[in-house]
Structures are given as C-alpha cells and as structure tokens.
Amino acid sequence: MLGRISSLDAAKKIAKAFSVTLDYLAGETSEVAFNRRIVESFQDIEKFTESENEHVFALLDACLAKSKTQAILK
C-alpha cells in the first residue's frame, strides 16, 4: 500500500482525533467513551509529578463523591 492508508488505519486516526471508539464511529454504540477535553487533560496530567497526580486524584475523588451523594439525595 505505497502512499496509501488502509480504511482501518484511517478509521483509527479519525476515532483518535475525535476521542471516540471505533465502535462509536461504526454506529455500533451510542456511547462516547471520553470527550476530547477529558482525554487532552489526562494526557497533560501524565506529565505531572507523583505528588501532583495525588492532588489531582484527591480532587477528582472528592468531586465524584459529591456528585454521587447528590444523586442519591435526589
């Protein structure tokens, strides 16, 4: 395939660009795995120190706990 890209490779690149799965692109699921902003943020977080990661995850855990508690109280 000189100078050409396979359909599967093209689909993978499109899925990656839009931060969705191949299943989503093919219409096999209506659920999007992650939105682009979340994916980009996690890519940046990967560059943090261990200490910075612990702070991020502590904050994330607190936000998730608050959200779950509010959902239960509704």
Q: Kindly give, in sequence order, each residue whose CB lies less than 8 Å from that of residue 16, ignoring residues fewer than 6 positions away.
A: none
DSSP single-letter state for residue 17: H
Q: Quote the percentage of the chain above a pLDDT of 90.
A: 15
Stated pTM of the model: 0.49
pLDDT of residue 62: 93
Residue 52 is assigned to a structural domain of this protein: no
Q: How far apart are CA 66 and CA 56, in angstroms?
A: 15
pLDDT of residue 17: 77
pLDDT of residue 3: 59
pLDDT of residue 51: 92
pLDDT of residue 33: 63
The segment with the largest mean pLDDT, out of 18-22, 26-30, 42-46, 65-69, is 65-69
Residue 21 is assigned to a structural domain of this protein: yes
Domains held by the chain: number: 1
Q: How far apart are CA 21 and CA 71, in angstroms?
A: 28
Measured N-to-C along each axis, helices 36-45 and 50-73 cross at an angle, to the nearest 10 degrees, of 140
Residue 45 is assigned to a structural domain of this protein: no
Q: Would the pLDDT of 19 be above 60?
A: yes
Q: How far apart are CA 50 and CA 73, in angstroms?
A: 34
